[in-house]
Structure formats: structure tokens, C-alpha cells
Chains A and B, each alone.
Chain A
Amino acid sequence: DIQMTQSPSFLSASVGERVTLSCKASQNINKYLDWYQQKLGEAPKLLIYNTNNLHTGIPSRFSGSGSGTDYTLTISSLQPEDVATYFCLQRNSWPYTFGAGTKLELK
């Protein structure tokens, strides 16, 4: 199975700050990497698919990049409504595997 390692596990940032979250795969996942946002008590929501494609309706402050084993989610200017846990998911091979998540809070 492909292991997905997210860092940091916890991040505290200020409104307006640029935030970068990392996801590292244990082997090449050929850009089959999605990012999901999960707010407390809710289902996950798709933000970015296939590394750098913004899902419909997602604000442009969210962006993704990466290749091979290393991937990044960037929030260009953090907003209060971005408080959530962020998970990456690899879909390169079965079983699909999620990272453990990065919990993002406001400073």
C-alpha cells in the first residue's frame, strides 16, 4: 500500500497569512492526488483534484502543486472559514489511501 504522510499535523496561522500544507507519498503517484477539506461534524469536501485542478465553486485562494511523491496545498490568504482539517488522497493505485490530515486553526 502507498503511505501518505502529511505535515504538519497541526498548524496555527493568522487571517490573511499564506499557508502551505504538505503531503508526501511513499512512491510515485503520478499526480493522482486530491485535497479534501473537512469541517467539524461535516463530510469531507473536494478542493483540488489531480494535483492542481480547482473543483467547481472552490475559492481561487486554494491551489495545489507537486509531482512524483511530493505535493502541496496552498491557501494564499487564510480566511476564518478555512478552519478545518485537510486530507490528501492518492488515487494512483488500490487501495486508495488518505493522509492523516493537517488540522488548521486560527492564531
Chain B
Amino acid sequence: QIQLVQSGPELKKPGESVKISCKASGYTFTDYAMHWVKQVPGKGLKWMGWINTYTGKPTYADDFKGRFVFSLEASASTANLQISNLKNEDTANVFCARKGVSGSFDYWGQGVMVTVSS
């Protein structure tokens, strides 16, 4: 069955970096784009951008340009998100989501809670 399994929760200090992963299984990884979505606890969802899993080309929403990097370990069917120079406002649950043939996000990871606190 199709699964996206994300890495565990992270507690970081402002200014530090974090790398979270999203491991896909049950399908051909390079056939479907991977998107990233942020959710501040108790709040709504915000689209961060996506990565073409075939070419490795990332696309970032405006609010996520500069400190955010999407990358791949295609041989391991894994997409990664690295956030540098962490700020308090980066505290959020971050989801990866597969873009299916319909164009919608048909499978989601369980989410990674990133907490930034001094």
C-alpha cells in the first residue's frame, strides 16, 4: 500500500537548521511530484511548494524562498526539506503530500512537528 512516512519531531533553537524527511513506498517515487504543506498548531494549511521527483527541480512559494530547500534521495524514495536559520515562526507541523494523477494531494505523510524555541 502507498505510504509516506516522515521523520520524527524536532526541537531546535533559533538560528539552527533542521532537515526532515519523507520516505515513500508502494509506488514509483519518480512518477509523482511531492509537495510540502505547513500547519501552525490550531491554524490552517499553507502550501510551501513542491519538487519534481523526476528532475529534482524545486519550486517554492514566495514565503518559503531563501531558507527552505527541497531535495531528493531518489534511490531511497525520499524527499527532504531543510530549513536553515530557524525562527520562532517556523514552529509548525510540516506535511509532505503526493500529487496524484488527478492533480490533488492523494496521500499525505503523518507530519513532523518542528518546534523552535530558545
Contacts and interface: CB of A to CB of B under 8 A. Distances in A.
Nearest to A49: B104
A46 B106 contact: yes
Please indicate which of the listed interface residues A94, A96, A99, A100 has the most CB atoms of chain B within 10 Å of its own CB. Answer: A96
* Interface magnitude class on chain B: 20 to 34
Contact of A44 (B45, B46, B102, B103): B45
B47 to A, nearest CB: 4
B106 A55 contact: yes
B59 interface: yes
A95 interface: yes
The secondary-structure label for the interface of chain A is: loop
B44 A49 contact: no
Nearest to B104: A49
Contacts of A95: 47, 61-62
Contacts of B109: 43
Contacts of A91: 103-104
A53 interface: yes
B102 A49 contact: yes
Interface of B: 35, 37, 44-47, 59, 61-62, 95, 97, 102-106, 108-111
Interface of A: 32, 34, 36, 42-46, 49-50, 53, 55, 87, 89, 91, 94-101
Given A46-B104, A55-B106, A96-B35, 11 more contacts: A32-B103, A34-B105, A36-B45, A42-B110, A43-B108, A43-B109, A44-B97, A44-B105, A89-B45, A91-B103, A91-B104
